[in-house]
Every structure is written in structure tokens, then in C-alpha cells.
Amino acid sequence: MSFERVLRSALVAIAIAGLTAGILAALDGRTDLADLCWTLATVPVVAGLAVSIVRDFLAGRFGVDAIALVSMSAALALGQPLAGAVVALMYSGGNVLEDIAVARAEHDLRSLVDRAPREAHRCVDGRIEEVLVGTVAVGDRLLVRAGEVVPVDGIVSSVTAVVDESALTGEPIPVAKARGAAILSGSLNAGETFEMTVTAVAGDSTYAGIVKLVTTAQTAKAPFVRLADRYALVFLPVTLALALVAWLISGDLLRSLAVLVAATPCPLILAAPVAFIAGVARAARRGILVKGGGPLEALARAHTVLFDKTGTLTVGGARLLSVEVAPGETAEEVLLLGASLEQASHHVIAGAIVQAGTERGLHLKLPEEVREAMGSGLHGVIEGRRVSAGSREMILASSQVAEWATRAIRRASWRSALIVFVAVEGRPIGALLLADELRSDTPRAIRLLREAGVARIVMVTGDRAGAAQAIGAALDLDSVLAERVPTDKVDAVRSEQRLNPTIMVGDGINDAPALAAADVGIALGARGASASSEAADVVILADRLDRVGEAIEIAQRARRIAIESIVAGMALSTLAMLAATLGWLLPVPAAIVQEVIDVAVILNALRALNPGRGRAGGSMTAAAGHELHRSHLELIGNLDRLRSIVDELDDASPERAAVIIAEANKLVQDQVVAHERDDEGHVYPQLATVLRESHGLSAMSRAHREILHLARLLARVVEDLPSEKVDRYLVRDAQRLIEAVETLVRLHTAQEEDIYEAVAAR
């Protein structure tokens, strides 16, 4: 506990003791002793307040504390020590209530610091030794036991680890980390004991960076808090004027004293800091670290938001977009062989392909005799077959480019995608298209910003104009600035700043100058402290872009509550002063009324700790959301096969066309239709209990009906196949139906994921 808090506690104890002793003496008929006790209870508070006012005045601040000093001094001077003692108790008690409120609001921030590990278990020559975290060096092997916090950054070096990263990201679901995977300090071991190899010392680790940011958040002071002092410059002369009027109309100085007592300024002193600290604490609960009340107040005034593209609006790395296949092949086989072979490479593209195969539930094979041609691709043997995966130049160099391959190259060009061809025994069987894609929560993040009142959203990126314009059009952004270097980004920020309050959102080192230049810089720092996190005013610890809109919403609510508390407190104090002016309140009752106002103001300011009533009342469980996402991943594999069937129908013989149209129908009926019926019968009723209104679900149900209608039409086509001649017109009709189902289900699934993310985020 700080010295100031100890002193405040001591002053309130003296005030309570003096007031109580004086009351007992008065009951015993010893009025002189009672007056002395009350005077002794008041003088220390007056002295402490006088020192505080002088210190603030020398620092260039002059607040409403002066009214409390005047009221207590006047009470002693006018021979009303009881009123002075009551004011002293109310004022010092209000300060203690502020400390309690601040401590309550800061709890979520302090918990991050308090759980920082102090010791580590280092493996040395087959034994375990306990060492201080500060002595751990890069390359050391550490043992992390079940239930312990990971002390430093590293990589898993033994069995798969299961860790809870909620303290870092706000996400409640534990994640599995395979051998070789990066693991962040501050994560909680939610599984069995595992070993790790240190990659960063304690001072440079993720958690150390977060602790530094938390310390900044706790010590910063909001400019808006000083606004309360500016209110005081008006409130103080009004108070003195009413006290003068009370004396003039009554000729009684006690009535003027009652006015001064009723004006004791706790509402102004408490409202703003408590509301803003509560807002900062609420943001921390959601994985949003705001470096003090100043940035929080600036967030509330946001008009323009600038976004970086790569890693901010997009995932920031290669992701599998589609699988193109040669006639007679399947997307599953192409991805299985490609991902199995790429396991032997450390290239970032290889990692993306392996991840795509794993996410789709493929059981990857172990490659043998692998040879890697740097920058071109891989050759290896999988279950006795020679498999190659690589660039067009490597795979297609010795063969004529087939029509399907030409089509794949054209589609890759349209989507600004990288293409990796897969061949078996020298024969190309398919291609994998990879590109940086929108984050799944980006559309929702943009929508939340619009709902929060952000009027202008701009993307500023160093990427090519074509790729940037495609992203901008998909998100309906107000402007796209492409091919911008870091200095250009700073210029863009300053240009917007000249017009309106501006926020910059980024994640990379190249974004740091722009983040520092903006009114509020927001860094996506899910992987720990970096140059961008240091330069930013707000750090999103969770890997969620939609937290930006949520941060603005929290800031607006905190600012609104602060203003409400200040205005309401001043209004109630003014009513009490008017009552005292008219003689309806004596000094002691006026002090009690003022204390009731203080408590009401504190309780109102603490509302900023909680979400407003405008949010929906429920949420979907993490387990339910995970199961829905898993079912969608399974469905995507079937959609890939439908897409390959559509392409194969271009050149299929009548006999082959009949076979694959029947296969497509079976997939649609057994997988797609079953999935949509389950959504309509089980998932949507669950969502209806969570969402405030069902209009959105009604629109989604309309998509279900259209999908089922297309499925029925496809089934009719298949029923007629045995008796109908399979001509090009029938093939074209079937092709259109299959493509319509595939396209609509992909879009519908993406919309459902957006809803699930929104519901689970509450």
C-alpha cells in the first residue's frame, strides 16, 4: 500500500475517533471536551488537505478541494466543531472510498503482474534445479509442471503441451502445442508436465513486455480527469456566491457554513478517475491493454481509423485458398500428398500447406528420401510413390501444360495467389493455391467500428495496388492507400489528424512510426511485445481484430459514465446548496447529505466495469462454438470435392459425367443437406436464446431453404440420369446446380462463422 493511502486511512481513523469521542463527551454533558475532540478530529484533515492543495497549485492545478478546506476552516472559526468534524469524516472517508473503488477496478490489471513467475525448473545434467527466472539463459532446457505458469518464451521440446493462454489473449479454450511449437511466457500449463527450450530471457519475453505495459497503464493519468478540475473553476465561485447570498438574506453565518458543507466536492474528485480506471480494467478483461486513461478518453472521440493490411486486416501469411485437380483426381488426394511431403520443409509455404491438411483431418504420411531444391520445391517418396511439390517451372518444365493446369494458373492470377503444383511419378495431379486472406473476424470488426460511430475507415499498406484494392472493395472501406512505405504511413496519419481525431491500427515494426504519430495507436500484439506494441497506446493481447471496435465501445461508455457522474454530482450538490441557502439544511445534515451523494457517484462510476445493457444477454459456450467450427471444417472438404467435380464436368465423357454427377448428389444429400437441417433444427434455436432479435437468423434460414431447394433439383437430375441421354445440356444444368450449391454453402458457412464469433465474444 502506498504512503498516500496509508495517510488517508490514518486521517479517516482520526476523524472517526475524534467524532466518536466528542459524541460520548457531549452525552456525558462535557461540552468543552466534546468541542475539543471534534476540533482535534478536524485539524489533521484540514492540514493534510492544505498541503495537497498547495502541491497541486505549484504543479499548475487548482481544483474543487478548496471548497472542502473553506468549509472545515469556517466551521472551526465559527465555533461549529461538530460540523467541521462531520465534513472531515465525510471528506477523508470519501478518499478512502475512492481508494477502495480504484483497488477494485485495478484488480484485473494487477492480476497480470501478480501472476508473473519468479522461479523456473532448469534441467542440468539429468537433474532439476530451482533457479530465479532472471538467471535463465537462451538455450536452457526448462521443465514446466502441470498448473504452472510458463516463465519465459521458448519452444516445446518434449511431448505435446496443452496451455491456457487466457491471461494473454482473453481466449478461454486451452490450445495444444506440438513439439517445436512456440510457447509464450505467461501461459498456464493446463496439461501434463513438459519440457521447453528457452528462446528469450525473462526481460525480453512476452510476459515481461506485458508487465511493462500494465505498469504504464496503472501509472498514467487521463487528461479528461483534469477536466473535472476545470469544472471546479466554475463550481467554486458559484459555491462562494451562494454562501454570500445565504448570509445576506439571513444575516446568519451558520447558513453560509451549511452551503459550504453541502458543496464538499467529492463528486468531482471521484467521478472521472474511478470511471476511467474502471474502463481500463474492463478492457484488460477482454484482452485489450490501454496505457492509461488518456488513450481511453481519446478512443472515445475516434472519427477516423487507419488500418495496415498484412497481418492486421489479413492473416499475415499464406493460407490455402483452393485445390485445383487434374481429371480423375481428387482434392483430398492432392492435398494429402502435398502436405505429407511438405512436412520435411521449414519453408513458410510448407507450413501453411501442412496446416491446411491437418485442419481438414487428413492423416499425413511420413515422407522418405526427401530432396529440397531451395526456392523451387521438394521431391520425395510417399508409400512407394515418387511425389514432387513445387513451382510451375519445376513441375511443368518437361511437359505440355494441360488445360486444367492453365485454368489453375489463371485462377491463381485472378486471386493474386501463389501456386504449388503436385506431381506423382512425374505426372502433375493437381495444384494448391495459397494467398494472404482476410481474417475471419475482419468483416465483423469493420461493422463494429461503423456501429461505434467511426465515420471514416482507411487502409494504408505497402502492398501492391491490385491486391489492396481487392481487400478494400470486399470490406467497403472509404479509401485505400497502397504501396506506402513507413514514412508515407506517417504522412497519411498526419493528413487525417488535421481533420479529425485519428486511430492507427497495425502489427509490424514498419507500423511503429505511424502508431506513435496517431492520436491513438493500436497494436495487435498477440505474440508479445514488439516495436509496434511499445509505440502503441493500446495493445490488443487477443488475436482478434474485432477487439478494436470493442475498445472504442468501452472507452465511449467510460467517458459517458464519467460525464454523467460529474454532472449528476454537481447537480445534486447544487440542490443541497440551495436547500442550505433557504435554511432547510443545517451544517451537520448538509454534510450527511453530501456523503450520500459521494457514495452514489462512486457506485455510478463503477458501472464502467461492466458492459452496458445494450449488449445481448447471453453467450454461446466455448465448447459449442468449437464444435460448430469443427463441423464447418469437415464441410469445407466436401465443398472442395464439389468444386473439382464442376471443373471435371467441362471435359468429362457422358459415362464419366453421369458417375461424378451422382457422386456430387450423394455428397450434397448426405453431407450438405444433413448439415443444414441440423443447423436449422438444433443450432439456430440455441442462437435464438442468445441473440436479442431473430431477424438475422430469419435471413440465414432463408439461405437454408435455397440450399435445400437446389439440392432437390440436383436430386431430380440424378433420378433422370438412367433414362435420359447424358448430353451437354444435361451436364451443363447439373454443373450449374452443383456450382450454385458449392458457392452458396461457402458464403453461408462464412456468415455463420461470423455470427458464432460475435456470440462467443461476449
CA angle at 247 for the pair 243 and 251, rounded to the nearest 5°: 165
- Burial group, residue 692, by CB count within 10 angstroms (0-12, 13-18, 19+): exposed
Taking a C-beta distance cutoff of 8 angstroms, is the pair 645, 325 a contact? no
CA distance 305 to 741: 37
> CB within 8 A of 434, min separation 6: which ones?
318, 319, 320, 321, 349, 352, 353, 417, 418, 419, 420
Q: What share of the chain is helix, strand, coil (3-state, %, to 5)?
A: 60, 15, 25
**In the annotation, is 308 catalytic?**
yes
CA distances from 261 to 13, 78, 94, 266 (A): 20, 13, 14, 11
What distance in Å separates the CA atoms of residue 641 and residue 638, rounded to the nearest whole number? Answer: 5
Stated length of the chain: 762
- Out of 65, 308, 537, 543, which one is annotated catalytic? 308
- How far apart (Å, rounded) are the C-alpha atoms in residues 567 and 238? 15
Q: Tell me the C-alpha distance between 389 and 421, whole Å.
A: 6
Check residue 542 and report its DSSP letter: S
Residue 242 CB partners (closer than 8 Å, separation 6+): 259, 263, 577, 578, 581
Contact 152, 138 (CB under 8 A): no
- Residue 413, burial from CB neighbour count under 10 angstroms (0-12, 13-18, 19+): exposed
- Other Cβ atoms less than 10 A from the Cβ of 404: the count is 22
Inter-CA distances, 366 with 330, 338, 353, 360, 382, Å: 20, 12, 15, 17, 7
Instruction: Tell me how far apart the alpha carbons of residues 210 and 544 are, in angstroms, rounded to a whole number.
Output: 17
User: Cell numbers 515418387 label which residue?
Assistant: 386
Euclidean distance between CA atoms 680 and 706, whole angstroms: 13
Judge contact between 433 and 422, C-beta under 8 A.
Answer: no
Q: Which residues does the annotation mark as catalytic?
A: 308
